[in-house]
Structure 1
């Protein structure tokens, strides 16, 4: 192996990231990582550090020939200053020399990988003929999840729920632009939905979990804080619950942590996404199926490698 040459890392802006990775491609990259020798349990824990008007998230990971880290900032008051609440940059390196290979706009990378992870889970947890999708949320992640779910199932109806009627109608219009039969959510939709996506910043449960039908697939990805949740303990207790990694969920997933604290969920019953993808776990038909995601560092790395390519280019 020769000496590393001096090559400036390539920059990928949001336009280049979007051009390189479709929702289907992002899903394939996530699934490929889980089917390989990589174990999410070995992923380093997210570092959360108070800083300035918010906090910084540091998310490092190593998968085979690649290493990387996402540096994200969360500014709760940023919208008042005309800035996004979450901003991020990704540094991609080869794992042999840790030489920077690429820098990427990290917010779009996150927007792509999160629904991709959800779609990998939902593809295994939803009924093969699932056709009705209920989405809670009207932001970037809600839209990304609509696109991702439309890739894995033929959706007959999409129902959208949000706090702002204007934003709901805007999302309905975008969904119709994809050729989907979309409308604002109504009372009773929770009972009839085949797939439910929760993509909000809510701190309290969004609906009565007892209304969810057996066999339905529910995705909750709105928080990674132990005191916030989108799903109630009743639903978590009666469902088959899949998480990215058990220890990560116990450390960061409020939906899981609070349900355990309230005596409705047994930590030993938690199942992992890797076992689901590998066929060691199957969806339930006699109860709901929940996937609770918090986001992990390996997911950013898997998609970042797909943006850049799969061959380190500055290691001679």
Structure 2
């Protein structure tokens, strides 16, 4: 038996935003309702090369397939003219154990599901009139978070903060070409936006908790390994609502876990992201809310299966 290998071109043709949003939303709800199997991620760190690698797996109860995914992030690659992220997804039958397909997605499936999950949760948790977005980070996911959130709500202005001023300006140019009003900004100004999104591989907080205004929502995307940390513990202490995509995983891998270990919040102070998406989110106009998203293998399984069904092969 020859295993089909689906390349990026075929997957991009199948990955319509409405398909990705619908699939990711349903998978987050299934995960919140304990209808998934998600083992702890395996992670490798390559400090000498500025890189890391995740191996994640997942299955939604009753689905025909499960997946095992490898995705890497090597953050010096752009200086070498190479993409930061790469990876592949192995789709396996949950009925026979046979490999159905290998998705040579170059890490794009992870990028799409991360963008969709971030946008869905951020949109649900932000004030209805929130229009200014502050983004920490200048890589692929920083741009995708803005683009995918912009599919769900109008964005009045985008502020970008990055360690490299040239990369921040370049991201603003890319967003400007898509019709967004975007400009580089200092860290405190970026953190004072209505909506704040962090998308970095930082190992120490990238913003000050005091810089976040009352009524703001903050979504942390980048802290997906134990040594990473984007959001300060005091921000969680201020939060009226804390959402995680996976409680145990965020305790071990995410910013939520750093806040718990610092004594800022209790271990069970969080709400499942899928529970927020399943019903109307409630928040006061002055509340600070925080989402910690570390990436759940069940979302990869659902999206890989959906893209296979939409692909002629």
Partner in structure 1 of residue 58 of structure 2: 61
Partner in structure 2 of residue 200 of structure 1: 200
Matched, 1:20 2:20: no
Partner in structure 2 of residue 92 of structure 1: 91
Partner in structure 2 of residue 243 of structure 1: 244
Mapped contact 1:136–1:199 kept (Cα < 8 A) = yes
Shift of the 79–161 alpha-carbon distance from structure 1 to 2, 3 Å rule, reads closer
Mapped contact 1:137–1:161 kept (Cα < 8 A) = yes
For residues 220 and 199 of structure 1, the distance between their equivalents in structure 2, rounded to whole angstroms, comes to 7
TM-score, normalisation: structure 1: 0.86
For residues 178 and 170 of structure 1, the distance between their equivalents in structure 2, rounded to whole angstroms, comes to 13
For residues 74 and 172 of structure 1, the distance between their equivalents in structure 2, rounded to whole angstroms, comes to 22
Taking the TM superposition and a 5 Å limit, the aligned residue runs for 1:208-219 are 208-219=208-219
Pairwise CA distance, 1:68 = 1.1
Pairwise CA distance, 1:73 = 4.2
3-state SS, counterpart of residue 267 of structure 1:
coil
Larger radius of gyration: 1
3-state SS, counterpart of residue 155 of structure 2:
coil
3-state SS, counterpart of residue 28 of structure 1:
helix
RMSD (Å), alpha carbons: 2.8
Partner in structure 2 of residue 166 of structure 1: 166
TM-score, normalisation: structure 2: 0.87
Pairwise CA distance, 1:197 = 0.8
Shift of the 12–121 alpha-carbon distance from structure 1 to 2, 3 Å rule, reads same
For residues 84 and 143 of structure 2, the distance between their equivalents in structure 1, rounded to whole angstroms, comes to 17
For structure 2, the residue ranges without an aligned partner over 5 or more in a row are: none
Which is further off, 232-241 or 46-55?
Answer: 46-55
Matched, 1:47 2:42: yes
Which is further off, 264-273 or 55-64?
Answer: 55-64
For structure 1, the residue ranges without an aligned partner over 5 or more in a row are: 1-5
Shift of the 43–280 alpha-carbon distance from structure 1 to 2, 3 Å rule, reads farther
Mapped contact 2:37–2:298 kept (Cα < 8 A) = no
Mapped contact 2:5–2:101 kept (Cα < 8 A) = yes
For residues 85 and 27 of structure 2, the distance between their equivalents in structure 1, rounded to whole angstroms, comes to 26
Q: Deviations over 1:132-176 (max 9, x none)?
A: 111111101111111111111101111111112221121111111
Q: Deviations over 1:180-236 (max 9, x none)?
A: 111112465346411111001111111111221222121111122233211111111
Which is further off, 27-36 or 202-211?
Answer: 27-36
Partner in structure 2 of residue 228 of structure 1: 228
Partner in structure 2 of residue 252 of structure 1: 253
Shift of the 168–73 alpha-carbon distance from structure 1 to 2, 3 Å rule, reads closer
Mapped contact 2:246–2:294 kept (Cα < 8 A) = no
Shift of the 195–177 alpha-carbon distance from structure 1 to 2, 3 Å rule, reads same
For residues 114 and 251 of structure 2, the distance between their equivalents in structure 1, rounded to whole angstroms, comes to 19
For residues 298 and 206 of structure 1, the distance between their equivalents in structure 2, rounded to whole angstroms, comes to 29
3-state SS, counterpart of residue 109 of structure 1:
helix
Shift of the 132–245 alpha-carbon distance from structure 1 to 2, 3 Å rule, reads same
Shift of the 257–116 alpha-carbon distance from structure 1 to 2, 3 Å rule, reads same
Partner in structure 2 of residue 113 of structure 1: 113
Mapped contact 1:246–1:272 kept (Cα < 8 A) = yes
Which is further off, 104-113 or 38-47?
Answer: 38-47
